[in-house]
Structure 1
Amino acid sequence: MSFRERPVVRFARDGRMRLTHGPIDLIVTAEGTPEATKAALRRAHEAFEPVLPALCDELSRLRAPQGARPIGPVANRMVSAVAPFVERFVTPMAAVAGAVADHVLAAMLMPGHGLDRAHVNNGGDIALWTRESPLRLAICEDPVLRAPGGRAVIGPGDGIGGVATSGWRGRSQSMGIADAVTVLARDAATADVAATLIANAVDLPGHPSISRVPANALAPDSDLGARRVTTAVGPLAPVEARQALDAGHALAQDYIRRGLIRAACLAVAGQRRAIGDAISQEEPEYA
């Protein structure tokens, strides 16, 4: 795989910048003085430009659970993010969206940046930072209907710099049946990995209403190889949905106990669990 064309840059009327390159699609927001905002967006663009070609050059390493140390800064973020989770099968690709967002945000937040708030949204996996005003996030439990399921209010000093969501109907393959698992962590790459693994754990192995195929039957170069991934989830009884949530809930609690994540929200078949005090199950102020 090779993407050698230049990234595309567009600006919205509200000042947000959109950066696209191959499969990567970022929405970049910077808030501060006009000079600080302009400079931060320029740094974001410059940091983003070499990301995809560098990742393509290292894909063989990044698709393996273990291997040679990658070279590029985003690849190294990916490897570092999965290191605390290696008791379960995971490759650095589980962190790719969050790691790209973290990399671009770090370029924006150079010393003396002068910003008040900044965030980089990579298809729903978000790296974020705020100086004073809290960031309010609506958390959707249904990625198809976009139905709001709760809210998170993230302030400075909360130790939360990333939000990520995973599920069987998302952009990536999942071995579980979660409609959505949203995780808050210290950075987006860590949240990305944890959301992937918790979503895998939300499951009912052998249930007749769940359809699965080998991952490499859908994508021959999948890092999951022949492991079976979910392609359809039929009707589930409430007790079955709660059973599926139990395993994901236990894993999320373990990650919170170990200090890997701050909070998580899990949803499947109309059932929802919020874990950690950073997420409220109340209706959000806005979606």
Structure 2
Amino acid sequence: MSVQRAFLPDSRLHLQHGPIDLVIEAFGPLAEVRRAYWQAVQAFDGLLEALTLELHLLRRPLVDTPPTLYGPVSRRMLAAVWPFRGLYVTPMAAVAGSVADHVLAALLKERQLAKAYVNDGGDVAFHLAAGERFRTGLVPDVTAPALAGLAEIPFEAPVRGIATSGAGGRSLSLGIADSVTVLAADAAAADAAATLIANAVDLPDHPAIRRAPADSLDPDSDLGALPVTLEVGALSDAEIGHALEAGRQRAYAMREAGHIHAAVLSLRGQFAMCGTALSPELTETR
């Protein structure tokens, strides 16, 4: 399992090691971009090994006393989930976003870039200079990637991270959302919030939803024996709306507490919004 470093045909930088798969792009003077990419490569080297050393702590659910962590990515993960310790959550809920934030910070150090981003499997950390904008797409179903709309995030917006979670994605989910996309101050915060909001989009004990203990699917899962979603059968429009509303209430609580800027929730072609709309085709109903 060696580190892979390569430039894609469109000149974006691709870094991959085990489950971490980054696509990086920077904009600015050529010399600055080259130095920035080298800094990203240096930050990436050894990152997975450092995380592995602390996995036994990162997979544990939070309690009143935070674990003592040493790695910079591990500490980002803990900081992102700590505000939500009243729920069942482990630092692993923010791993992809934290990696993206860490590599972006290295990319930007002492560099003059107009715009840059680090995309870790759909969880994105980005940088904007004054006057710049970042465009992102809305994917309503993580199992069938297709854009349902676009959003432009200006420099002035308090958003520098985007994350999407849902049943059927890269990680196991306690909920049934097709997708939950969150905009937040950084990618780690967006990642943690998207995971927890997606968990809340649910219909407990519904006969059409098939579940299994997380550890029966992955013995190393940080969710332990909690029942995760395997399959969602037929649901009525009212049931879909009820599940989305449960998730939206969690999103509103996070927004009111200042943890996120906006969220869009999707299930079976229906949407729920919280905060600024992420797509011109979608409007908030509350």
Normalized against structure 1, the TM-score is what? 0.94
Indicate if the aligned counterparts of 1:262 and 1:278 stay in contact, CA closer than 8 A: no
Distance in 1 (alpha carbons) for counterparts of 2:149 and 2:127:
20
Distance in 1 (alpha carbons) for counterparts of 2:256 and 2:115:
29
2:114 is the alignment partner of 1:116 = yes
| Deviations 1:216-266, CA, capped at 9 Å, x for gaps | 000001111000000001121111100100100111011111110000010
Instruction: Between 125-134 and 258-267, report the one with greater CA deviation.
Output: 125-134
Indicate if the aligned counterparts of 2:138 and 2:279 stay in contact, CA closer than 8 A: no
2:13 is the alignment partner of 1:17 = yes
Q: Which amino acid aligns with 1:130?
A: L
Distance in 1 (alpha carbons) for counterparts of 2:91 and 2:224:
14
Q: Which amino acid aligns with 2:169?
A: G
Give the percent of matched residue pairs that are identical in Structure 1 and Structure 2.
Answer: 49
| Deviations 1:116-139, CA, capped at 9 Å, x for gaps | 100000000000111122111111
Give the superposed CA RMSD.
1.2
Alpha-carbon distance, 1:6 to partner: 4.0
Q: 2:57 aligns with which of 44, 56, 61?
A: 61
Distance in 2 (alpha carbons) for counterparts of 1:59 and 1:241:
36
Alpha-carbon distance, 1:281 to partner: 4.2
Normalized against structure 2, the TM-score is what? 0.94
Indicate if the aligned counterparts of 1:274 and 1:281 stay in contact, CA closer than 8 A: no
Where in structure 2 are the equivalents of 1:23-102 lying within 5 Å? Answer: 23-66=19-62, 68-102=67-101
2:137 equivalent in structure 1: 138
Q: Which amino acid aligns with 1:242?
A: G
SS where residue 69 of structure 1 aligns?
Answer: coil
Alpha-carbon distance, 1:99 to partner: 0.3
Distance in 2 (alpha carbons) for counterparts of 1:187 and 1:69:
22
1:210 equivalent in structure 2: 209
Alpha-carbon distance, 1:275 to partner: 1.6
Where in structure 2 are the equivalents of 1:119-198 lying within 5 Å? Answer: 119-131=117-129, 132-198=131-197
1:252 equivalent in structure 2: 251
Distance in 2 (alpha carbons) for counterparts of 1:153 and 1:278:
10
Structure 1 gaps of 5+ residues are none
Alpha-carbon distance, 1:150 to partner: 3.0
Structure 2 gaps of 5+ residues are none
| Deviations 1:174-227, CA, capped at 9 Å, x for gaps | 000000000000000010000000000000011111000000000001111000
Q: Which amino acid aligns with 1:43?
A: Q
Instruction: Between 39-48 and 6-15, report the one with greater CA deviation.
Output: 6-15
CA 159–114 in structure 1, closer or farther in 2 if over 3 Å, else same: same
Alpha-carbon distance, 1:87 to partner: 1.4
2:109 is the alignment partner of 1:105 = no
SS where residue 191 of structure 2 aligns?
Answer: helix
Distance in 1 (alpha carbons) for counterparts of 2:178 and 2:30:
40
Distance in 1 (alpha carbons) for counterparts of 2:146 and 2:108:
33
